[in-house]
């Protein structure tokens, strides 16, 4: 069962990446095995355990936010 859940989560992450990738002029996706990048694997695992603090994100920033920058 854990393998199915991991696959499902990975699928949704990949779909998000494909969608976000369209926002960039040029991008590359390369696979780096976990064993070759343990720091990134550790950060990714801890990030997945954290509750999300982003509720909604608009394409354009609200005027009150842009004025404070």
Q: The whole model's pTM is what? A: 0.39
End-to-end CA distance of the chain: 47
Are 29 and 20 in contact, with CB atoms under 8 Å apart? no
With bands split at pLDDT 50, 70 and 90, how would you rate the model's confidence at 1? very low
Condensed to tens digits (0 to 9), the pLDDT of residues 12-64 reads 778 888 888 888 888 887 888 888 889 888 888 887 787 766 656 666 766 77
| pLDDT level of residue 4 (50, 70, 90 thresholds) | low
Exposure string over 43-55, b if 16+ CB within 10 A, otherwise e: eeeeeeeeeeeee
If you compute the radius of gyration of the chain from its CA atoms, what whole number of angstroms results?
16
């Amino acid at each position: 069962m854990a393998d199915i859940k991991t696959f499902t989560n990975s699928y949704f992450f990949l779909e998000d990446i494909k969608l976000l990738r369209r926002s960039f002029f040029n991008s590359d996706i390369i696979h780096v095995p976990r064993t070759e990048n343990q720091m990134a694997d550790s950060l990714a695992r801890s990030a997945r355990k954290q509750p999300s603090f982003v509720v909604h994100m608009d394409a354009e920033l609200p005027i009150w936010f842009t004025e404070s920058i």
